[in-house]
Amino acid sequence: MPIDVLMPALSPTMESGKLSKWLKKEGDPIKSGDVIAEIETDKATMEVEAVDEGILAKILIPDGTEEVAVNTPIAIIAAEGEDASAVSAAPKAAPAPKAVEAVAAAPAVAVEAKAPAGAAPARASEPEPEVPAGTEMVSMTVREALRDAMAEEMRRDPSVFVMGEEVAEYQGAYKVTQGLLQEFGADRVIDTPITEHGFAGLGVGAAFTGLRPIVEFMTFNFAMQAIDQIINSAAKTLYMSGGQLGCPIVFRGPNGAAARVAAQHSQDYAAWYSHIPGLKVVAPYTAADAKGLLKAAIRDPNPVIFLENEILYGHAFEVPKLDDYVVPIGKARVARAGRDVTIVAYSIGMTYALKAAEELAKDGIEAEVVDLRTIRPMDIETIVASVRKTGRCVTVEEGWGQSGVGAEIAARLMEHAFDYLDAPVTRVSGKDVPMPYAANLEKLALPSVAEVVAAAKAIAYA
Amino acid sequence: MALAARKASEAGAATESAQPKKTSAAAKKQATPKKPAALKAANRKAMEAVPPLTKEQELHAYREMLLIRRFEEKAGQMYGMGLIGGFCHLYIGQEAVVVGMQMATREGDQVITGYRDHGHMLACGMDANGVMAELTGRRGGYSKGKGGSMHMFSKEKHFYGGHGIVGAQVSLGTGIAFANRYRKNGAVCLTYFGDGAANQGQVYESFNMAELWKLPVVFVIENNKYAMGTSVSRASAQTDFSKRGTSFNIPGEQVDGMDVRAVKAAGERAIEWARSGKGPYILEMQTYRYRGHSMSDPAKYRSKDEVQRMREEHDPIEQVRRRLLTDWKVSEDELKAIDAKVREIVNQSAEFATNDPEPDPSELWTDVLL
């Protein structure tokens, strides 16, 4: 029987990649372990090794094909002496330009969380009001936006430097710091040992002297090792010093669930850090916000927790082409206007919220979607203004419900908009369990579009 | 239980109350054949005899140490009167460490330490009024009354705190040294911590980065023999703290931390090493605190004899006083004049700290963010 060679997944969150080069041609004998092709993801170029032996009977995806979905058959290996004509009987899958169907079919992935690049609704990337009319927009991934933000600020201010694990020579574990070492050199782009507690404290000490460190955590899960320095040293020293000793530092990195990495690597820390006076906490969704808010965070004289999301890194959005695009911290954004129900979300939670809004629209319910963007200080005014209009609110977060961001929003709405509420504030959150590994359980543990839709309908009495 | 505790404390007393080792003996003990050349060189220097101070230096050390001693005694007294609240960790007995080290610094060098910090602030030249008023939680305190005993800072005097989490200041101090290297300003950060903090994980994370990047930092381990109530031998597998950097190739010395001359000499070696770009240096200061860990600690884990012996035989201030009287022929009257001046400063600070108003209620909401 001929064997299909499938497009491999090279990282937990990879959805598709470019088949950059075949190293074998049709008719070549293949031994297990032979490198047969090179595949380029947004993070790296990887070699594909054959697992099976035989003859490379047919190449299904030619060199240079972009966005080949994971699990797409890319070639067929026939056994020695097998009739080459058997090959034509093999299933031939067309290269899927959009990965979502192929990915959805695979049991491995939380589908709602994985809208492919470019699939984000146009309304999600409405420009800021302060962007002048007629500004040129460029499509850019969140990853590129973050890198550009750091590079621009490092050009602007020599006291800005970036440190963390694999940020320099490796070009970033998630390639967010790509190219920075080449432009700014090893004095300002610094690979650290794997010692989060130590280098977080070192960064805080440097910030006490007035430098502006950007400390990258490979993921925020590892920042738990450093949380004492973040809270006890970075957040509190200004107060404890009577205003003498500020700490202009940014702690950034991917936060929340990636895909299939289980409980210790899948956690949303937004609520944790938002509890702390003395910190600002930012969690952008779009590339434009990622860029503008990171620039604001680097300029901010206070410690800023900048929560990124690994799944969003590869998503592309329209970003205004401006020399200095800065988005103010502490302002939410109405991502979609509506009159019937308010959905408040942040970071990847926005993907559920926006899709749910589209579903609801089909049933005649117009949802207003508020992208919180900053968790602390929380822009409660924008939420209240929306709820005054709609009388209803659903909050969406991947983190746990108890003492979560949604719980805070619900309490604030009780305080500031009680008379405007026509229904209880309803929370959609991650389930109250550690993140499971099994694909089906992981999907169940995360929020879903269906849950957001159901919550909105329940309080809209629809 | 009581018997066991007493036995443990006696055993502790027997091992811990030994005289601070002479630097030469300590250095010989350290010199193992496999040491890198840099460490050997450091040890050879440590073997040299303690260089004498000039008369002016002795007088300076005497005045500085006495100021700390009297200040701390006053703080203890005011704590007993209920004027100072919360935690209050006194530095009495350890004065030679910070005073000797400050004598080895130059303008611009930074200091950071843990919670037993009043002595460091005074030695850095911070105003006694501001320190005492912070202890009493008044608006004229260095942190406007919002930090308290463990949390004071002075950018002007290059003092970076005052940190309440055991060991946290080691990473922070390493970061200050990182900033020195980043700015190429030639400054060295003196990072103080105790024998207790020396067992914290982030200390070794910091050692690693400091040596890896050759940061200008001197790690000053104030080994006062007890981490709160736990004697060094009960908490530390390696009780020679000068060796704690060995696996990172950081040179270290044991220093008689009760002798301000030895401290100054070792400080000069260490600071020169760090300033010249060779990286960090560890000084284990063998010292002793006369009081309990904090005001609420009756210090039953050690014998009265042990404390008495240290006070009588090794008191850092008495040592200087004796030399001033005998070697430098300074008159009792002259020393009494210094005593009187110091008492005046301390009394004035107590007066200020007692009468200065509490912070305005509006201060509750300030200084959270810039």
Question: Do B267 and B219 touch, CB atoms closer than 8 A?
Answer: no
Using the 8-state DSSP alphabet, how is residue A277 labeled? T
A244·B153 Cβ contact <8 A: yes
pLDDT of residue A209: 98
Give the pLDDT of residue B24. Answer: 46
Q: Where residue B185 sits, what CATH number does that domain have?
A: 3.40.50.970
Within 8 A of B111 by CB-CB distance, chain A residues are: none
How far does A294 lie from chain B, in Å, by closest CA? 18
Quote the domain boundaries for residue B240.
54-354
pLDDT digit string, tens, across residues A276-317? 999 999 999 999 999 999 999 999 999 999 999 999 999 999
Residue B189 lies in a domain: yes
**Domain annotation covers residue B244:** yes
Which chain B residue's Cα is nearest to A210? B179
What are the angstrom distances between the C-alpha of B71 and each of A29, B127, B132, B290, B343? 86, 11, 8, 15, 8
Confidence of residue A128 (pLDDT cuts 50, 70, 90): low
* Burial (CB count <10 Å: 0-12, 13-18, 19+), residue B120: buried
What's residue B8's pLDDT?
39
pLDDT band at A48 (very low <50, low <70, confident <90, very high): confident
CB-based contact A161 B182, cutoff 8 Å = yes
Give the separation between CA A271 and CA A276, rounded to whole angstroms: 9
Q: In this structure, are residues B361 and B143 in contact, taking their beta carbons and an 8 Å threshold?
A: no
**Residue B131: inside a domain:** yes
In this complex, do A238 and B370 lie within 8 Å of one another by their Cβ atoms?
Answer: yes
Look at residue B305 and tell me if it is in a domain: yes
This prediction has a pTM of 0.86
pLDDT tens-digit map of A441-451: 999 999 999 99
Domain for residue B179, yes or no? yes
Q: Is residue B101 part of a domain?
A: yes
With CB atoms and an 8 Å threshold, state whether A198 touches B152.
Answer: no
pLDDT at A318 over 90: yes
> How many domains does one find in chain B?
1
Residue B23 covered by a domain: no
Query: Is residue B220 classed as helix, strand or coil in its secondary structure?
Result: strand
Residue A115 confidence (pLDDT) above 80: no
Which pLDDT tens digit goes with each residue over A373-402? 999 999 999 999 999 999 999 999 999 999
Residues in chain B within 8 Å Cβ distance of A239: 146-147, 367-368
Contact A199 B209 (CB under 8 A): yes
Residue A223 confidence class, pLDDT cut points 50, 70, 90? very high
CA-based end-to-end distance of chain A: 54
**Nearest in space to A397 (alpha carbons), one of A420, A415, A370, A364:** A370
Average pLDDT value over all residues in chain A: 90
- Tens-digit pLDDT profile for chain B (370 aa)? 343 434 434 444 444 444 444 444 444 444 444 444 554 545 545 545 799 999 999 999 999 999 999 999 999 999 999 999 999 999 999 999 999 999 999 999 999 999 999 999 999 999 999 999 999 999 999 999 999 999 999 999 999 999 999 999 999 999 999 999 999 999 999 999 999 999 999 999 999 999 999 999 999 999 999 999 999 999 999 999 999 999 999 999 999 999 999 999 999 999 999 999 999 999 999 999 999 888 888 888 999 999 999 999 999 999 999 999 999 999 999 999 999 999 999 999 999 999 999 999 999 999 999 9
* CA-wise closest residue to B39 among B336, B246, B308: B246
Which residues in chain B have Cβ-Cβ distances shorter than 8 Å to A241? Answer: 142-143, 147, 151-153, 161, 367
Give me A451's structure tokens: 């849950």
Q: Which residues of A are catalytic?
A: 196, 265
From chain A, which residues contact B within 8 Å (Cβ)?
A: 161, 187, 192-193, 195, 197-211, 228-229, 232-233, 237-246, 277-278, 280, 301-302
A211 close to A301: Cβ distance less than 8 angstroms: no
Q: Is B196 among the domain residues?
A: yes
